Amino acid sequence: MLPTTYYVQCDGDSNIVVSNCVKTDERALLITFATVSSRYNSAEPFSFFVRGVSNPASFKESGPFSNIKLVSRSGNEIAKFEDSRLTIKNSIKSSIANFSLR
Amino acid sequence: MKTEHNVPVNGRIRVILPEDMSIETSSLVNNCFRLDKSNRQTRLDCTANSSNNSFEVMVRSSTFGINGLQGNEQFQVQVSGFRNPKEVSVTVAFKIQSFDDSERLIDESDPSSGFTITMKSIGRLGSITVIPASATNGAATTYGFRVVPGVTISFGD
């Protein structure tokens, strides 16, 4: 996970509900799901959204996202994801907010 | 498996799966075979019950003979359509029962009889796509994660 701002908020899509979303350190999130069980099954993809992530400051390729795991309610790992291609790269330069010469 | 007592024709053998497993009913019904000592397949009359997570093998004279399944007779069945438990390193147990043609219980497996399985390797998430809402460096933004899980996600996971 990338660095996050102080306030982080998570949402699920129509298939899955995020019941809790907490930062466990500056770069990690623990997201707890409450499924919409009547609609959800293992074959269906789902999406979740994390608000309050700080994009990398540089234009280098960042990542990969690492240590993405699904953990059961009893704390046992049930699936993990490791893909070195899961990276991001900024493409737009930020504007300088204010600049003055004296 | 072996049953202690005979199971008569039109009796049944019920296998109750661990809670964490599931059955794909049509796959099981169409892929249920008895294997002989040479691993040759004979199709069995099997039914699946996803509500109580079990399947049953019907003891028919066409596949077991006119005396049904004899006690202490080696019986090997091969079935498809199971979904493995999703947790690794947790041992779960099957329960096996036999019934006569009037649904009376004949034999039942002992919980300590060793009909257990333990998952050794963890599954992989199918895929993840990450989409930042903003591509501006240093911006505080929203990240969307699209996940193809590959395992069932239950309440509280």
> Over the stretch B28-58, which tens digit does the pLDDT of each residue have?
889 999 999 899 999 999 999 878 889 999 9
Band the pLDDT of B15: cuts 50, 70, 90: very high
Q: Is the ipTM of this complex over 0.90?
A: no
Interface contact B154-A35, CB threshold 8 A: yes
Say how many Å lie between the first and final Cα of chain A, rounded: 41
**Which residues 82-101 of A have a C-beta within 8 angstroms of B?**
82-83, 86, 88, 90-94
**If you average pLDDT over residues A68-74, what whole number do you get?**
82
Give the pLDDT confidence score for residue B68 in this predicted structure.
95
**B139 domain residue, yes or no:** no
Q: Is residue A102's pLDDT more than 80?
A: no
**B124 domain residue, yes or no:** no
**B127 domain residue, yes or no:** no
Domain that holds residue B85: 12-118
> β-strands B32-35, B76-79: how paired?
antiparallel
Q: Which of B113, B79, B78 is nearest to B93 (CA)?
A: B113
Q: Is residue A43's pLDDT more than 80?
A: no
Residues in chain B: 157
Q: Does A15 touch chain B (CB under 8 A)?
A: no
**B151 domain residue, yes or no:** no
Give the pLDDT confidence score for residue A12 in this predicted structure.
87
Give the pLDDT confidence score for residue A41 in this predicted structure.
52
Contacts A54 to B, Cβ<8 Å: 138-141
Give the pLDDT confidence score for residue A95 in this predicted structure.
80
pTM, full prediction: 0.69
Mean of pLDDT over chain B: 89
Q: Which of B125, B122, B21 is nearest to B81 (CA)?
A: B21
Task: Pick from A29-33, A72-76, A94-98, B144-148 the range whose average pLDDT is largest.
Answer: B144-148
Give the pLDDT confidence score for residue A6 in this predicted structure.
56
Best to test chain A binding among B19, B92, B127, B137 (most A CBs inside 10 Å): B137
Q: Specify the higher pLDDT residue, A91 or B111.
A: A91
Question: What is the number of structural domains in chain B?
Answer: 1
Task: Pick from A46-60, B33-47, B103-117 the range whose average pLDDT is largest.
Answer: B33-47
Backbone φ and ψ of B144, nearest 5°: -100, 135
- Cα separations (Å) of B93 from B79, B86, B115, B134? 17, 14, 6, 50
Band the pLDDT of B80: cuts 50, 70, 90: very high
